[in-house]
Amino acid sequence: MAFEDKTDREARQFLANNPDVVTIDMLVPDMNGILRGKQLTREYLPKLYTEGVRMPGSIYLLDWTGQNIGTLDYGSSDGDPDFLCFPVEGTLARIDWARRPSAQVIASMVDSKERPHFADPRHILSRVLDRFREIGLTPVVAIEYEFYFIDQEAAANGNIMPARGRETGWRPGTVNVYGVEELYDFEALLDEIQQVCKEQDLPAETFVKEYATGQYEINLHHTDDALKACDQAILLERCIKSVARKHGVIASFMAKPFSDQAGCGLHIHCSLLDKDGNNVMTGPMDEVTGRPISETMRHAVAGLLTTMREGMAIFAPNANSYRRLRPGTYAPVRGLWGGDNRTVPLRIPGGSEKAVRIEHRVAGADANPYLVMATVLAGIHYGIVNKLTPQPPVAGDGYASESGIELPIRWPVALAAFDESNFLDDYLGAEWCDAFLAARRFEAENHHFTIHQLDFDWYLRTA
């Protein structure tokens, strides 16, 4: 809903249709993509729509463990003031994994003057989308998530391993990519996820057994509303985790839970429509990629490659994210592009001319979808308005190529590239970029000075 349209029609209609619902989870996605918020009673729900619900603005700027950042001016140092949250229209829905009848709704924050809060990821993405409206283009996007089913009981005892099939009791021991039988190992769990997706109007299209033991992928249908796509993605992640928990399994979107297995990515598919609904990325056939590519697409690709180094801290937001970035693992190490080729971070998939698009394969599944989407679209816009020219596309194994842009695949290097970026300040907001950088550096320092088990394994008896 628009903040100026503060009516409670949606709330009252929902309560009338769901007289048994007793609580509503108000969800606020922070900079890490972690959902925070409050649990509201049904009597309190209309107030969220008309008056707003107060939450501290610092909730957007926490580290991964949920604590305030001591080096920021938001949180304890500014008195941690409250601001108002209002609902996102269309996200109010039942949740069936709770013990008692419950619902959920995404909320977005405004500041003391009822302007969009600078650190709200939805507002950051919205500002980028405004730039596309100014040039008469509409992004059409789709999101793919990869994740693992992890054994919950073993994890509680410190042993991280793929979950046993809930129907068969079989613990997978092979990759078996695209295996169909592995889907039936978790038939009841996947069936319930699909049912919940239908109830919540989340357009999940396909489930796939992915390229690792216990790893799966789920795809959302494309849409010309990028904000809605990210709302659906964050709710889909919650749905998968919550239903899995109900079935005694951990669904993990951690970028690299196993060092010897594939990591988990968050892939963004994007095409662009003009005012007449034409896909402006379609053009003459390109001999190297084998795809019909327009000059507009080439500009977009160039923008993404030019800004990829700067955005890596968003695509890989925590210490574990960088474990995923290894050669030969379908994860990016150099900025390259090509045709229907999974060894490059920017892929132009096969399909009809109408469906010509860019697949951005850089981000991990642990990244915030709103911020990833904002950064990807900002790179595309930057390339188009500046008419940038990309390097030649790659054919064959991208990991064997010595061309392309060397990406920062270590956290401190990625943070340095982020810090040097004028592009991100311009598109995402300098105030937010300063806060994001401070938060990530705070977390990186704490992680660096923590003694990990490997230190003892390698050095305790030999040093």
CATH number of the domain that residue 216 is part of: 3.30.590.10
Average pLDDT of the residues in 255-259: 92
For residue 246, give the nearest of 182, 321, 195 by alpha carbon: 195
Q: Answer yes or no: do 58 and 145 share one domain.
A: no
Residue 457 domain flag: no
Domain count, the chain: 2
Task: Decide: 125 and 227 in contact? Cβ < 8 Å.
Answer: yes
pTM higher than 0.85 for the full model? Answer: yes
Arithmetic mean of pLDDT over the chain: 91
The whole-angstrom separation of Cα 124 and Cα 65 is 23
- pLDDT, one tens digit per residue, over 323-347 is 999 988 888 899 999 998 888 999 9
Q: Answer yes or no: do 256 and 326 share one domain.
A: yes
**Which of 48-62, 177-191, 330-344 bottoms out in mean pLDDT, i.e. has the lowest?**
177-191
Q: Answer yes or no: do 73 and 199 share one domain.
A: no
Q: Answer yes or no: do 263 and 297 share one domain.
A: yes
pLDDT value at residue 164: 85
Residue 215 domain flag: yes
pLDDT value at residue 176: 63
- pLDDT, one tens digit per residue, over 347-398 is 999 888 888 999 999 999 999 999 999 999 999 999 999 999 999 999 888 8
The whole-angstrom separation of Cα 186 and Cα 15 is 34
- Cβ of 447: how many Cβ atoms within 10 Å? 15
**pLDDT at residue 413 above 70?**
yes
Task: Decide which of 77, 111, 145 is a domain's last residue.
Answer: 111
- Helix, strand, coil percentages, rounded to 5, for the chain: 35, 20, 40
DSSP 166-225: TTT-PPP-S--TT-SHHHHHTHHHHHHHHHHHHHTT--EEEEEE-SSTTEEEEEEPPBS-
CATH number at residue 18: 3.10.20.70
Domain around 174 = 130-428
Q: Answer yes or no: do 144 and 31 share one domain.
A: no
Q: Answer yes or no: do 34 and 141 share one domain.
A: no
pLDDT value at residue 75: 64
The whole-angstrom separation of Cα 443 and Cα 385 is 35
**pLDDT at residue 167 above 90?**
no
pLDDT value at residue 359: 97
Average pLDDT of the residues in 112-121: 91
- Cβ of 117: how many Cβ atoms within 10 Å? 22
What is the percent of the chain with per-residue pLDDT over 70, rounded to a whole number? Answer: 96
pLDDT value at residue 286: 92
Backbone angles phi, psi at 145, to 5 degrees: -120, 140
Residue 264 domain flag: yes
Residue 119 domain flag: no
Residue 448 domain flag: no
**pLDDT at residue 77 above 70?**
no
The whole-angstrom separation of Cα 27 and Cα 25 is 6
Q: Answer yes or no: do 234 and 322 share one domain.
A: yes
Q: Answer yes or no: do 344 and 200 share one domain.
A: yes
Q: Answer yes or no: do 198 and 329 share one domain.
A: yes
Q: Answer yes or no: do 91 and 189 share one domain.
A: no
Residue 397 domain flag: yes
pLDDT value at residue 32: 95
The band of 169, judged by pLDDT with boundaries at 50, 70 and 90, is confident
Q: Answer yes or no: do 136 and 95 share one domain.
A: no
The band of 221, judged by pLDDT with boundaries at 50, 70 and 90, is very high
Q: What is the DSSP letter of 405?
A: E
Q: Answer yes or no: do 206 and 248 share one domain.
A: yes
pLDDT value at residue 457: 92
